[in-house]
């Protein structure tokens, strides 16, 4: 049985994985967009897992958030037997990316699954002979046959205080709704969206200047530090605490929301911070559409220069704008399907 241990220290599996961890945690902001490619070419050979280690698979995307959870899983002492990801979320998933680079280095399969519940996908998953799967950001709902593949089930890592903010964009909505706290939750995966029983949960404060990227990094660190304990709880047979979904909330996906149409400067500011860096807010900028990365709230009488938007509760100076959407489409201004 795995004994919980602190996660997040330099990897003991290989110098290359240690370098990847160092590179990742130097980032101030984490993206959820599944297009991450590591700048470090896989090199050397990893240390083998100890004999009899728990066989664990991983399902996720090539993003900063998923990579943080994957590295924590590798460092927890398990034998990583394979990775799974979901085709269709981003063109980068079909080519070389962070997940494929880690899989190549560890010499384990990477399953690129278009439909995880179909026969061929189930056969591929069973061939891994995993005792358990850890999931960190995945866009397909598993049905009973897929859920039954690993003997100990699937553990999902969700960046909210479940049952609050179930669904695909918990960080975005927590900031937009002006929440003061959020968290990271490990749950047993069940049929439905983020509906399974809770194994453990950690709480984090949402700071006034947080955007989705800084908040994602902080929650990823909490999750990485808790991964070993969550795996241990799942292995120990703990069924988890059922969620009362009637006391929770569910929010849908979002688009590039227009801040020049917001009711207040306070809301527009939160829309910008919530959208950065995964789904940038947009605005009219000098007669054309632009994507907004950073704003600064000022009084209407403030003489500071720069493009600004006027609201009843003050003004917003547009401090940083870009011409490409930055989401998983990567389209020029006005061409992204997520434009409102």
pLDDT-derived band at 90 (thresholds 50, 70, 90) equals confident
- The pLDDT, as a whole number, for residue 10 is 55
Tell me, what's the pLDDT at 9? 46
Q: What gap in Å lies between CA 23 and CA 13, rounded to an integer?
A: 16
The per-residue pLDDT for range 92-144, each reduced to its tens digit, is 999 999 999 999 999 999 999 999 999 999 999 999 999 999 999 999 999 99
181-188 and 79-86 strand pairing: unpaired
153: tokens are: 């089930």
SS (H, E, C) 49-117: CCCCCCEEEEEECCCHHHHHHHHHHHHCCCEEEEEEEECCCCHHHHCCCHHHHHHHHHCCCEEEECCCC
Asked whether the beta carbons of 75 and 100 are under 8 A apart, the reply is: no
219-272, pLDDT tens digit by residue? 999 999 999 999 999 999 999 999 999 999 999 989 999 999 999 999 999 999
The confidence band for 6, taking pLDDT boundaries of 50, 70 and 90, is very low
Distance of CA 187 to the CA centre of its chain: 15
pTM: 0.94
Q: Which residue has the higher pLDDT, 299 or 338?
A: 299
pLDDT for the residue numbered 2: 47
Residues in the chain: 340
Per-residue pLDDT for 159 more than 70?
A: yes
Q: How do residues 271-292 score in pLDDT, each as one tens digit?
A: 999 999 999 999 998 888 999 9
Q: Are 58 and 78 in contact (CB under 8 A)?
A: no
Q: Look at residue 55 and tell me whether its pLDDT is greater than 50.
A: yes
Residue that the structure tokens 């959407």 belong to:
325
* Mean pLDDT for all residues in the chain: 93
The pLDDT tens digits of the residues spanning 303-312 come to 999 899 999 9
Task: Name the burial class of residue 204, with classes exposed (0-12), middle (13-18) and buried (19+) by CB atoms within 10 angstroms of its CB.
Answer: middle
**What pLDDT is stored for residue 333 in this prediction?**
77
pLDDT band at 11; cut points 50, 70, 90: low
Q: Is the pLDDT of residue 218 over 60?
A: yes
Return d(Cα 212, Cα 220) in angstroms, integer.
12
Query: What 3-state DSSP class applies to 203?
Result: strand
């Amino acid at each position: 049985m795995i004994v919980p241990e602190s996660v997040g220290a330099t990897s003991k599996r290989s110098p290359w994985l240690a370098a990847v961890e160092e590179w990742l945690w130097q980032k101030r902001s984490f993206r959820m967009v599944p297009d991450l490619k590591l700048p470090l070419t896989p090199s050397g050979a990893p240390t083998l897992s100890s004999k009899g280690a728990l066989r664990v698979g991983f399902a996720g995307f090539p993003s900063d958030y998923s990579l943080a959870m994957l590295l924590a899983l590798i460092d927890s002492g398990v034998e990583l037997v394979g990775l799974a990801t979901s085709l269709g979320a981003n063109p980068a998933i079909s080519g070389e990316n962070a997940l494929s680079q880690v899989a190549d280095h560890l010499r384990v399969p990477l399953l690129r699954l278009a439909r995880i519940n179909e026969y061929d996908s189930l056969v591929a998953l069973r061939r891994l002979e995993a005792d358990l799967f850890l999931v960190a950001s995945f866009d397909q709902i598993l049905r009973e046959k897929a859920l039954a593949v690993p003997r100990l089930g699937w553990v999902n890592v969700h960046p909210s205080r479940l049952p609050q903010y179930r669904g695909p964009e918990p960080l975005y909505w927590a900031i937009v709704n002006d929440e003061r706290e959020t968290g990271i939750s490990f749950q047993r995966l069940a049929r439905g969206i983020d509906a399974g029983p809770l194994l453990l949960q950690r709480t984090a404060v949402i700071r006034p200047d947080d955007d989705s990227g800084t908040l994602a990094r902080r929650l990823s660190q909490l999750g990485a530090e808790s991964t070993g304990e969550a795996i241990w709880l799942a292995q120990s047979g703990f069924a988890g605490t059922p969620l009362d979904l009637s006391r929770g909330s569910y929010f849908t996906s979002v688009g590039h929301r227009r801040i020049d149409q917001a009711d207040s400067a306070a809301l527009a500011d939160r829309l910008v911070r919530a959208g950065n860096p995964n789904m940038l807010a947009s605005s009219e900028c000098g007669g054309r559409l632009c994507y907004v990365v950073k704003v600064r709230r000022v009084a209407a009488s403030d003489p500071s220069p720069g493009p600004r938007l006027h609201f009843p509760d003050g003004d917003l100076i547009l401090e940083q704008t870009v011409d490409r959407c930055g989401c998983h489409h990567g389209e020029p201004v006005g061409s992204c399907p997520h434009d409102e």
